[in-house]
Amino acid sequence: MTDNNETLVIQPHGKLEKKVALITGSGRGIGRAIALKLASEGARVVVNDLDPDTGDAVAAEIAEAGGDAIAINGSVTEEAFPERFVQGALEAFGGIDIIVNNAGYTWDATIGKMTDDMFQAMLDVHLVAPFRILRAASEPIRIMAKKEASEGHEVFRKIVNISSIAGLYGNAGQASYSSAKASLLGLTRTLCKEWGRYKVNVNAVAFGLIETRLTQPIEEEQKTIEVEGRAIKVGVQPSLLDTMARTIPLGRAGHPQEAADAVYLFCAPESNYISGQMLVCGGGLLM
């Protein structure tokens, strides 16, 4: 695994050699770390980011290391995006083996101050977008699985939906985000049952406190990110970060590379008989 100061190394004959992995929101932070982790194990990666320059940069980083990657950028909430994402992977690499629904952000407020737009935006990016992407992939997966079964081959595919401990236990100020992430578990377990016959393992990873730009300490002036024309405040008060870190048994926030490792567990062949599960990657934090 790499961070911004390390060199990506593609493992010869890695465990994901020639697998095709589609990862939303993979231009920065956890998503980028996931893309590099899967690429290091030989996966051919379809990168995605809202910012085309950022997504293209990650795809170029993988290609420069000797891997295979393309970028299909844009908002996962656009109605036409899921079909474009799936078809782009099929046209470039001829298959789909792994889908990681990672794209997302937080837009917080207590319920009395939360608008309909704020609530719906969180549902759209964290729940509706994964649903649409998986729906777009359903027919290609069915066709590939049917062909493999007729040839006597057992080929496993992997879906990893990214949730949060906020979806498991709730979090003050995050009624919308928590609701979407909780609902994602229902989608995960339903598709586990629908797609088992196609040899698809459908699991979820719930992150605790991971160091990203969304969880950076708020300094004198709170930073914002732009999402589809909206300026969204990001960051956490340093005092709250310190309190959260003290409640984590391992004593600190997680790194993006450690978050990516948790996702990789559900992408590796060792997870072929694991489906419908939620793994918490939070340093032992159980709220």
What is the mean predicted confidence (pLDDT) over 203-210? Answer: 95
68: pLDDT strictly greater than 50? yes
From the candidates 105, 177, 198, 264, which is the catalytic residue? 177
The H or E element spanning position 207 is strand 200-207
pLDDT digits (tens, 9 = 90+) for 123-179: 999 999 999 999 999 999 999 999 999 999 999 999 999 999 999 999 899 999 999
Whether 184 maps to a domain, the answer reads yes
Instruction: Say if 79 falls within a structural domain.
Output: yes
* Reported pTM: 0.92
Asked whether residue 238 is domain-assigned, the answer is no
Task: Say if strands 200-207 and 98-101 run parallel, antiparallel, or are unpaired.
Answer: unpaired
Residue 204 has φ and ψ, to the nearest 5°, of -140, 150
Q: How confident is the model at residue 219 (pLDDT cuts 50, 70, 90)?
A: low
- Residue 9 placed within a domain: no
Measured between alpha carbons, how far is 134 from 131 in angstroms, rounded to an integer?
5
Orientation of helix 129-150 relative to helix 81-93, angle to 10°: 30
Q: Could you tell me the residue range of the domain that residue 81 belongs to?
A: 20-211+254-281
Q: In the structure encoding, which two tokens stand for residue 114, read together?
A: 């939360």
Q: What is the CATH number of the domain that holds 59?
A: 3.40.50.720
Kindly state the DSSP code that residue 255 receives in the 8-state scheme: P
Evaluate whether residue 69 is within a structural domain. yes
Residue 177 appears among annotated catalytic residues? yes
The mean-pLDDT minimum among 22-26, 87-91, 218-222 falls in: 218-222
Task: Answer whether residue 269 is part of any domain.
Answer: yes
State how many domains the chain has.
Answer: 1
Q: Which of 132, 167, 128 lies closest to 279 in space, CA to CA?
A: 167
In a domain, residue 5? The reply is: no
Q: Is residue 232 situated within a structural domain? A: no
- Residue 138's Cβ-count burial label (10 Å; 0-12, 13-18, 19+) is middle
Strands 278-281 and 230-233: unpaired
Query: What pLDDT was estimated at residue 1?
Result: 43
